[in-house]
Structure 1
Amino acid sequence: MNAADGAVIDRRDDGPEEQPDVVETMTGFAWALRAAGVNAGRERLTTCLTALEHVDPVDPEAVYWTCRVSFCSEPDDQARFDAVFGRWFLEADPEDPEPASAGDAPIDRLAARRPPGAPGDRQEVVEEDPSSATEAADVEVLRHRDVALLADAERDEINRMIALLAPRVGRRRTLRRARGGRERLDVGRTVRAMLGTGGEPVRLVRDHRRDKPRRLVLLIDVSGSMAPYADVVLRFAHAAARVSPATEVFTLGTHLTRVTRQLRLRDPDHALSAAGAAIPDWSGGTRLGETLRAFLDRWGQRGLARRAVVVIASDGWERGDAALLGEQMARLARLAHRVVWINPHRGKAGFAPATAGMVAALPSIDDLVAGHSVAALTHVAEVIARA
């Protein structure tokens, strides 16, 4: 008899397996929220842990609203919170990279993550809604479907999923230093402080290296061969530009076009419309070598690509000189912190990087990843984050 038939599930029969600690569980949940773009810092985590002491940890609705009130401060945070909450507590293990759909209602699986010794070791009836299970299965199938084969209604759902992504890179240390920390004694400030104490080193002043967000640069091929995927990758770039001001977006075709300002617009549809109006060579030819050289000459060599994570989205069909593309890719690799290449055909059976452009660029690529589905773009966001 399954849960949908009203079977009684006794969690006391689970054996002597130790339940996870609530602090460890919520700390991991806060990290997952931060990766999704929610500002789940230490203060909000402390607030959430304090609030959870006053609710029943096996009451999923109470835990859901306690965490949501503690972590969400902006309207955009709510959809991301629901997606991470579903992945973390409801439909998958925390290590599972597949997110649950946003807006899932809390269910009793939260009880499996209650702190040790928490009240509520009792028999409970868990009922499963068949329509909800079917909807979740449909969403999971849609996440892995090639976006070039989608119907219009399915594409709307895919666009909503991509808007919930939060592709961002970490931070990098700079040469500038700031007061505080315990890294190094600041001799100059210490000596100046001694002037007011009669030459006695009453207080040693220390400093530390500052850090700043690492820049993310996306170069997106909008030629005719990339037409089925360019819109989706631009939406991915819009999600990245929304969560980090250190994101720059360019399109490649027969011309190089900077669309960062257009993709800063809040609404994805408005941003894509503005970008489309600014791109003069949409669905045109492909001259990756020439446009990449133009990017490096005008932007990359002057600092935009230095120590940045550069993501190129293209199928590698080069109409120009493939040798020029190889030279410019090697030049880019010397400037960038990491080079990631998204090929929408990478995730398909029988794929081989055999086009002239891919063969020329391959030696300078750090990560060659797929980009044909939402699941593939989710993996791209993880690759970017690890970089």
Structure 2
Amino acid sequence: HRTVRELLRQGGEPARLRRRVRAERPRRLVLLVDVSGSMAPYADALLRFAHAAVRGRTAEVFTIGTRLTRVTRELSHRDPGPALSAAWAAVPDWRGGTRLGVLLREFLDRWGQRGMARGAVVVLLSDGWERGDPELLAAQMRRLHRLAHRVIWANPLKARPGYAPLAAGMAAALPSVDAFVEGHSLAALENLAAVVRGAPPDRASPDRATPGRAAASAPAALPREGTRRA
């Protein structure tokens, strides 16, 4: 269009071709951190991981347990100490139960469907224990998978010898997960960061014979979402 307009201004004389260029922006990273009682040994480390992501200004963080709590603003403080203290103060259901299906539906209805999850890399950090209906969780995971660019699940229990995702919640969620990784240690979180950036998991999951779409870490190196502009 710019080339044609320039030709018209010059009476049809040859003009320089105005080409379209590719503009790139980082994909949004959304972290859903399980703070239920069974995740208590890992929650502090996972929130520190989330704090590092938020510092890159392309991440949103929610805690999930019996309630859904957005803690992005609390974790935006430069110093991790005050950031984590503010986040814990904002979370009313620390060490409570788990309602993954209900809270994932709440997230999608209130935030995700509006655009927060659309085209984003979404990471769930949870052991997959579910008090509610596994079918509800399965349905909401399918919704999430349709909206997101990629869905990653980090489970601390995956590192245990002989672990199999037999818990009803984890089994219900897995068909809608693109990458299933460990989340129990610093090394596991480093691997998670690499997967968020787009690297394949260290070990292929026996639960997913066919890998899903592409994935995600430090927000500064998130996968890029391309757009076209004149």
Same fold (TM over 0.5): yes
| AA of the residue aligned to 1:191 | V
**Which of 19, 23, 38 in structure 2 is aligned with 1:210?**
23
Contact 1:338–1:366 (8 Å) recurs in 2? yes
User: SS state of the match for residue 345, structure 1?
Assistant: helix
- CA deviation after TM superposition for structure 1 residue 204, in Å: 1.2
- Kindly indicate whether residue 50 of structure 2 is the aligned counterpart of residue 233 of structure 1: no
Contact 1:249–1:259 (8 Å) recurs in 2? yes
Q: Distance in 2 between matches of 1:344 and 1:222?
A: 13
Q: What CA deviation, in whole Å up to 9, does each residue of 1:1-20 have, x standing for no partner?
A: xxxxxxxxxxxxxxxxxxxx
Alignment correspondent of 1:73: none
Q: Distance in 2 between matches of 1:318 and 1:191?
A: 60
Alignment correspondent of 1:353: 165
Q: Distance in 2 between matches of 1:248 and 1:348?
A: 29
Q: Highest relative contact order (Cα 8 Å, sep 6+), 1 or 2?
A: 2
Alignment correspondent of 1:282: 94
Alignment correspondent of 2:33: 220
Q: Percent identity?
A: 67
Q: Distance in 2 between matches of 1:200 and 1:371?
A: 63
Alignment correspondent of 2:59: 247
| AA of the residue aligned to 1:318 | E
Q: Distance in 2 between matches of 1:197 and 1:329?
A: 56
Gapped runs of 5+ residues in structure 2? 199-214, 216-230
Q: Distance in 2 between matches of 1:257 and 1:211?
A: 30
Greater gyration radius: 1
- Kindly indicate whether residue 107 of structure 2 is the aligned counterpart of residue 321 of structure 1: no
Contact 1:190–1:201 (8 Å) recurs in 2? no
Q: Distance in 2 between matches of 1:214 and 1:349?
A: 34
**Which of 173, 177, 181 in structure 2 is aligned with 1:369?**
181
User: SS state of the match for residue 55, structure 2?
Assistant: helix
Q: What CA deviation, in whole Å up to 9, does each residue of 1:258-298 have, x standing for no partner?
A: 00111111001111001001111011111001000000000
Q: What CA deviation, in whole Å up to 9, does each residue of 1:90-149 have, x standing for no partner?
A: xxxxxxxxxxxxxxxxxxxxxxxxxxxxxxxxxxxxxxxxxxxxxxxxxxxxxxxxxxxx
- Kindly indicate whether residue 4 of structure 2 is the aligned counterpart of residue 191 of structure 1: yes
- CA deviation after TM superposition for structure 1 residue 208, in Å: 2.2
User: SS state of the match for residue 368, structure 1?
Assistant: strand
Q: Which runs of 4+ in 1 moved over 6 A?
A: none
- CA deviation after TM superposition for structure 1 residue 194, in Å: 2.3
Gapped runs of 5+ residues in structure 1? 1-187
Q: When the two structures are superposed, what TM-score results if normalisation uses the length of structure 1?
A: 0.50
Q: Distance in 1 between matches of 2:34 and 2:115?
A: 22
Q: What CA deviation, in whole Å up to 9, does each residue of 1:185-213 have, x standing for no partner?
A: xxx21122224433212211111232211
Q: State how 1:56-95 maps to structure 2 within 5 Å.
A: none
User: SS state of the match for residue 346, structure 1?
Assistant: helix
Q: Distance in 2 between matches of 1:380 and 1:225?
A: 20
User: SS state of the match for residue 204, structure 1?
Assistant: coil
- CA deviation after TM superposition for structure 1 residue 347, in Å: 1.3
| AA of the residue aligned to 2:120 | A
Contact 1:253–1:286 (8 Å) recurs in 2? yes
Q: Distance in 1 between matches of 2:4 and 2:138?
A: 54
Q: Distance in 2 between matches of 1:209 and 1:375?
A: 35
Q: State how 1:1-387 maps to structure 2 within 5 Å.
A: 188-243=1-56, 245-386=57-198, 387=215
Q: What CA deviation, in whole Å up to 9, does each residue of 1:49-83 have, x standing for no partner?
A: xxxxxxxxxxxxxxxxxxxxxxxxxxxxxxxxxxx
